[in-house]
Amino acid sequence: MTARTYESAVAFLAEQDRPAGCIVTDVRMPDMTGLELARRLRDSGSVEPVIVITGHADVPLAIEAMRAGVVDFIEKPFDDEVLLASIHRVLDQAAKATSAETERREFAARLEALSPRERDVVDGLVKGHANKVIAFDLGISPRTVEVYRANAMTKMQAGSLSELVRMVMTVGPP
């Protein structure tokens, strides 16, 4: 792993070209504590996971750390393997979250590409309605529903109805 160090939290925040990854900080630092750093990062919209280490841990401090958005809280002294395992775990979790968000955005873009009528048909399918029910609800023929359904499946790149439903559920409500 590649690591960068900074003299202080203030120096870290002043860095314009911060690398993406995981932030490991101590609770007690000059100018700004590790918890203040975590709060500032969270409030700025940063998604980088923060691990806090401390030699003065207690339950209230751990709770405060979690409220500040810290993903792990490690007490000193600690074994190097404990820190490395924590870093690997939070980086894996961050990668999965990033991947899931990328997938959600891709599905959302596909949904946006649907015509309003295709979206109406997809919404009916997600509700579990049969083509005939969707046709009745929309005032169109079942054959027209089939055409819209086929077009939506193609645009959404869904191989099955269950895959289409999963895509829509991943995006969430409109």
Q: Which domain holds residue 166?
A: 114-171
Q: In this structure, is residue 87 part of a structural domain?
A: yes
Half-sphere exposure of 95 (CA within 13 A, CB side): 7
**Do 122 and 65 share a domain, yes or no?**
no
pLDDT in tens, 143-173: 999 999 999 999 999 998 989 999 999 998 7
Report pLDDT for 64: 85
Q: In this structure, is residue 1 part of a structural domain?
A: no
Q: The domain that contains 91 carries what CATH number?
A: 3.40.50.2300
Of 67, 99, 131, the residue that ends a domain is 99
**Do 81 and 15 share a domain, yes or no?**
yes
Of 42, 64, 99, the residue that ends a domain is 99
Q: The domain that contains 164 carries what CATH number?
A: 1.10.10.10
156 to each of 11, 119, 169, how far by Cα in Å? Answer: 46, 11, 13
**Do 44 and 84 share a domain, yes or no?**
yes
Q: In this structure, is residue 149 part of a structural domain?
A: yes
Q: Which residues pair with 24 in a beta bridge?
A: 51
Q: In this structure, is residue 3 part of a structural domain?
A: no
**Do 90 and 130 share a domain, yes or no?**
no
Per the listing, tokens 């490690």 go with 74
CB 70 within 8 A of CB 50: yes
The mean pLDDT value for 103-112 works out to 94
pLDDT of 18 strictly over 90: no
Q: Which of 19-23, 30-34, 136-140 has the lowest mean pLDDT?
A: 19-23
The tally of domains found in the chain comes to 2
Report the percentage of the chain scoring pLDDT > 70. Answer: 99
**Do 22 and 74 share a domain, yes or no?**
yes
Q: 174 falls in which pLDDT band (50, 70, 90)?
A: low
pLDDT in tens, 54-103: 888 777 888 888 888 899 989 999 999 999 999 999 998 888 888 888 89
**Do 78 and 119 share a domain, yes or no?**
no
Q: Which of 71-75, 128-132, 140-144 has the lowest mean pLDDT?
A: 71-75
**Do 16 and 95 share a domain, yes or no?**
yes
Q: Could you please report the per-residue DSSP string of 121-147?
A: HHHHHHTT--HHHHHHHHTS-HHHHHH
Please choose, from the candidates 169, 129, 171, 173, the residue with its C-alpha nearest in 3D space to the C-alpha of residue 149: 129
Q: 30 falls in which pLDDT band (50, 70, 90)?
A: confident
The mean pLDDT value for 15-36 works out to 87
